[in-house]
Amino acid sequence: MQFGSLFAALAAATPEAAAETTVQAPVIAAATEGVTRYPAAFFAERQPLSAYDMVVRVPGFTFDGGDSVRGFGGAAGNVLIGGQRPATKSESLEDALRRIQASQVDRIEIVVGGAPGVDMQGKNVVANVVLRADAKGSTLLAVASSFQQDGRTTPAMRFEGSRQYGVSAFDWSILTFRYVDDGAGEGPKVVRRADGSVSPSWLDETGGGDGLTAKANLKRPLLGGRLSVNTVYEQETYDWSLEDIPPAGGDRLKVIDADERQEGEIGLGWEKPLTARSRVELTGLVRRKHVDYASTFTDAGEAGRFTSARDSGESIVRGVLRHTLNPVLSFEGGGEIAVNFLESEIGYLVNGTPQVLPAANVRVEEKRGEAFGVATWRAHPKLTLEGAVRLERSTIEQTGDTNLEKSFTYPKPRLSATWSPTARDQFRGRIEREVGQLDFTDFVSSTTFSTGRDTAGGAELAPEHAWVFEAAWERKFGKDGALVLTARHKEISDVADRILVVDKAGNLYDAPGNIGDATGDELELSVNLPLERFVPGGLLRGKGTWTRSAVVDPITRHKRRISDEEPFEGELRFSQDLPKRKLQWGVELFSGSTETAYAFNEVSRFEIEPWLLAYAEVKPRQGLSLRVEAQNLTGRGLNRQREVFQGRERAPGDFAYLDDRRVDFDPFIYFRLRQTWG
């Protein structure tokens, strides 16, 4: 659970569906369409507030918000709104769905294996949120805050609205917020050295910040088609401090970090039917971001300061032509061009003396193009096949402290099949070559004063790519029960992990880099279990993902997991709807996780303990709701261990020390009050 979740929930809409509405079963569309339709009344007894609440309650459907990768096509989630993907990357798909009030939704359509004219965005299953044609608009005002045990509060306010003007529509949103970092807390630190000596101390961490987000979107007819304009502006500050306090008092390490971010985006989307069976879609998007970061430390008469100024941007043009040859066969083709850049300058002083890091001041620019073609064939009412071919070509150029240019060409074929032997069973399979995208910040050096560790930029880093083999079984039962079991196997090349970098002066640094080939396996289980027979209005939802991988460590030459991979991630949610009392309550449990990272001279483990919350939401009258949450009931702890070695071999005889830290974050209360009109 992250601190952002506390204020992100303000995006949810508020008018409840009428409790007296008769619950309807899902309507199965004609087999040639491959679409299951869930009318708004199907969700009524669950009292949804927003389109997001409805989407995540669809039996057997697992929400995917997309990836924050460069480009437009590769960042897609698995939900469409009105058959379209919003022409934005700055606003998350979850936020976009939360801004749509449940009263504006006509139905949710689940498309499996493809359907004529539907943009599957490379997914086997997508949801399409269809809005009511007679929706005129609404206004929402929401306030919220958490109350921490140390006296801190996190006030937030959202004011938004939407209006329909004939065939045009306009919506806007303003959000102001303050937040607390639930990854910062208090706890013990113990350093155990190779000579047997032990140094205990006490850590006191505090983190948080504030921000503003403004959005405006317009849809209107243009040149025989429909134009959408999406704009986003965001600014945010984040401050973090650490005191490492020895038991006897005296000198202590103090670290203060400050981060300021400004970001803006404008996206344009235009689509037009060319014939009864064909249509064209064009997308253009420009993003710009500036980040200032400063970190200072003092310790036993020493002092240091690290600063970083980063400017980044992305420009995208994308075009798609879709053609439905007949009710069972459709094609699409198109291309995308994207230009991305990151320009970074850093300053690094220790006791007033400048420090030199490799790849400290660099500019990274990528020019990337992709062409693609997709065919969807409903070979039988129970069988759908999809084949796709994509070809990606990119050039990454680095200038400044590092001068290097590299080009990559990757074909990305895909073949998927969906078979529905019965009305309740469905099998899905996929074979695809996936290509990862590089994080430009990995090309830039940095330092962390709280651990005293410098990291070099990964100048030679190349994209990771893999063959993915996936099989899934979905079983529906009862009115809205479902179980989905998915297995994946990956054959990975050029694994992105950690490597050793030696500068011209012979200094050793940890850096991002490619370490060879690997295999990976995932098993995912998702369950939607109605408890009506035992608990009226009760619903249990669960999801778990087990992951394993094997790669040869470049230092020890032994097999291990890929760095920062979580062996298990899961969640369990129980809720009960009591329409007569205008109340919903529930309990949610999020599993802990353990990540291990391998540097040339260090093995670090980061363990997050489970997060438990309970909530109740009452809706005393139309348009008004009050939600209260008891968060982090178990007082989640975060454990960090760093096993540090001398030299560059990570051999047992080279052990230097173990840095063992634990911080706990206290339980707290959160409330949210919302009112809507229209």
Which domains does the chain carry? 4-677 (2.40.170.20)
What mean pLDDT comes out for the span 490-508?
91
E strand or H helix that includes residue 265: strand 253-273
Helix (H, G, I), strand (E, B) or coil at 461: coil
The confidence band for 428, taking pLDDT boundaries of 50, 70 and 90, is very high
For residue 119, the model assigns a pLDDT of: 65
Q: What is the pLDDT of residue 657?
A: 95
Burial tier of 22 (Cβ tally within 10 Å: 0-12, 13-18, 19+): exposed
- 21 against 250, higher pLDDT: 250
Instruction: For residue 272, give every residue at least 6 positions away whose Cβ sits within 8 Å of its Cβ, in sequence order, or none.
Output: 223, 224, 225, 226, 279, 280
Give the pLDDT mean for 132-142.
83
Q: What's the first-to-final CA gap in the chain, in angstroms?
A: 33
Burial 609-623 (b: 16+ CB within 10 A, else e): bbbbbebebebeeeb
Q: CA quadruple 642, 648, 650, 652: dihedral positive or negative?
A: negative
pLDDT at residue 30 is higher than 50: no
158-162, 358-362, 543-547: segment of lowest average pLDDT: 358-362
Separation between Cα atoms, residue 237 and residue 290, nearest integer Å: 12
Please report which confidence band the pLDDT of residue 25 belongs to, taking 50, 70 and 90 as the band edges.
very low
The secondary structure element, H or E, covering residue 384 is: strand 383-400
Alpha carbon distances (Å) from 376 to 77, 124, 324, 326: 19, 11, 9, 11
DSSP bridge pairs for 418? 384, 428
* Tens-digit pLDDT profile for residues 645-675: 998 888 888 999 999 999 999 999 999 999 9
Closest CA to 397 of 353, 477, 445, 340: 340
Which residues, including other chains, have CB under 8 Å from residue 124's CB and lie 6 or more apart? 112, 113, 416, 418, 428, 430, 472
Give CA–CA dist 113/474, Å, rounded: 13
DSSP H or E stretch at residue 287: strand 278-299
With 60 as the cut, is the pLDDT of residue 73 above it? no
Q: Which of 102, 103, 119, 99 is nearest to 111 (CA)?
A: 119
From 558, 413, 559, 551, select the one nearest 495 (Cα to Cα).
551
What span, in angstroms and rounded, lies between the C-alpha atoms of 366 and 371?
Answer: 17
Residue 24's pLDDT is: 43
In 3D space, the residue among 240, 325, 348, 217 whose CA is nearest the CA of residue 275 turns out to be: 325
The secondary structure element, H or E, covering residue 7 is helix 4-8
DSSP output for 513-574: EE---EEEEEEEEEEEEE-TTTSTTEEEEEEEEEEEEEEE-TTT--EEPPTT--SEEEEEEE
CA distance 389 to 335: 12
Give the closest residue to 100 by CA, choosing from 155, 40, 25, 46: 40
User: What's the mean pLDDT in 229-241?
Assistant: 96
Query: Residues 445-484: pLDDT tens digits?
Result: 888 888 888 888 888 899 999 999 999 999 988 877 899 9
pLDDT of residue 112: 76
**In the block, residue with structure tokens 């806007």:** 172
Q: Compute the C-alpha angle 163/167/170, nearest 5°.
A: 30
Write down the pLDDT at residue 1. Answer: 38
- pLDDT class of 105 with cuts at 50, 70, 90: confident
